[in-house]
Amino acid sequence: MKFTQRLLSRIALIIVAAVMAHSQSNAPIGIVNSVSGDVFLHPALAPAASKDVRLQPGRAALLALHDGDVLHCGPHSRVVVTVSGRRRTLTDKDGKVSLHPDRVLTAEERRVDEAIAKFGMPGGSRAIGSLVWWPADGGAVRAENFHVRWNPPPTPEAFAIAISTAAGDLIWEAGSIDSAQGGLQPQQEEAVRRLLTQRQDGVAARDLTLTLTSEMQGSIRIVFSLLSKQEAARINEELLQWDKITNDPLLRMIGRIEALRSANLFCDLAEEFEGALKIAPNSVALLRAAQVANQRIGNSVRTHELAQRLQMVLSEEGFTPAPPE
C-alpha cells in the first residue's frame, strides 16, 4: 500500500512539474498563498483522467496557478489564492472552482500579474562558475549594498583584491586577505562603498572590474556595473512601492524580486530570497527559485544547501493524489 501511495505521489509530482514546465505556453495567472486542511488541484494541462493533486500546507505556497486550473477543498478546509491581482479564499462550500481571468484588470493588478509570471526567472545565465559570487559576473550593484563574497577554497591562502574602472584606474585594493573568511571585513566593505558612492554618475551606469589574485587561484576577473544615482534611486523607489502595493508578504516579495531581477541586481535578488524563505521555508516553488538565483551568481555553498532542503521537502511527499471520490 505504501509503495502504491508513493508511486501515485511521484506521478502527481510529475504532473505538477509538467504544468510548471509548460508555463510559457500557459502563463501563470496567480499563485497559492496558503493552504489549510485538504485542498486539491487539477492542473489545466494535466490529462482529464489524471488524479487531482493534494496540496500540502506550507509546501504549496507560491505554487503557480494557470488559466483553467481547478481547485476544490475538503470539509473544513480552505485555500487562499491570488488570481489576476485579486486575493480570494475558497472553502468546501465553493465546490470545484475553475480559475480564469474574469474581468479587466487595473494597472496595479496587471503589475502584480506580470511579476507572478516572471517569478523564478534568473535574469541571465552563467556558463562557468567563479570563486567570487558577489559581485556577480555580468551583474549590477548598488553602491550602498556592495559586498565582496567568495566560495572559500579547500586550502586557505592569502588573497589580493583590487577594484578598478574599465579604463584601468585603481579604485581600491588590499592584500593578505585570508581566503577562509569568504568575504571582506565590514570595515573594508564600508570603505569600498564610500569610494563607489563618490564615483557614481548621475544617469549612466559604470563598468567596473574586480580582480582577485592568489598563488593557487591565479587571477580571477569579475566585470560588473555600478548603477548610476538616478537608476539606484529608481530601483529603491520601486522597492518602496512594492512594500505599499500589497499587505501580502509573499506578493510583496515577488514584486521586489522582479524589480531587482529587471535591474540585473542578481546578488540582491538572491539576498531577497533569504527573507522570503523565512516566511515560507517549505515552499517548493520558492526553494527552486532561490536555488536558481544562487546558482546564477555562483554561490555554490548556498546552492547546495538549498538543493538538499528542496530534496528533503520533496521526499516528504509535498504533493499527494486526492482520494477517490
Residues 188-230 have pLDDT tens digits of: 999 999 999 998 887 778 999 999 999 999 999 999 999 999 9
Q: What are the sequence ranges of the domains in the chain?
A: 2-116+315-321, 143-226, 230-312
pLDDT of residue 246: 67
Q: Quick check: 17 pLDDT over 80? A: no
Q: Hey, what amino acid is at 218?
A: G
**Cis status of the peptide bond prior to 135, with omega within 30 of 0:** yes
Residues 268-308 have pLDDT tens digits of: 999 999 999 999 999 999 999 999 999 999 999 999 999 99
Q: Select 143-226's CATH number: 2.40.50, 3.30.70, 2.160.20, 2.60.40.
A: 2.60.40
Model confidence at 102, pLDDT cuts 50, 70, 90, reads low
Residues 141-156 have pLDDT tens digits of: 999 999 999 999 999 9
Q: What is the mean pLDDT of residues 18-37?
A: 68
Q: Quick check: 39 pLDDT over 90? A: yes
pLDDT of residue 317: 53
Neighbours of 158 (CB within 10 A): 13
Neighbours of 232 (CB within 10 A): 22
8 A C-beta contact, residue 31 and residue 65 = yes
Q: Quick check: 237 pLDDT over 90? A: yes
Residue 241: enclosing H or E segment and its boundaries? helix 229-245
CA distances from 88 to 27, 77, 82, 119, 310 (A): 19, 14, 6, 20, 28
Query: Three-state SS for 307?
Result: helix
CA distance 88 to 108: 17
Model confidence at 103, pLDDT cuts 50, 70, 90, reads low
pLDDT of residue 30: 87
Q: Hey, what amino acid is at 231?
A: E
Residues 45-100 have pLDDT tens digits of: 888 888 899 998 889 998 989 989 999 999 999 999 988 878 899 999 999 999 98
8 A C-beta contact, residue 71 and residue 92 = no
Residues 111-133 have pLDDT tens digits of: 777 777 777 666 555 544 679 99
Q: Quick check: 42 pLDDT over 60? A: yes
In the sheet that holds 86-91, the strands lie side by side as: 64-66, 28-36, 78-83, 86-91
DSSP string, 47-72: -TTSPPEEEPTTTTTT-EEETT-EEE
Q: Cell 538572491 appears where?
A: 270
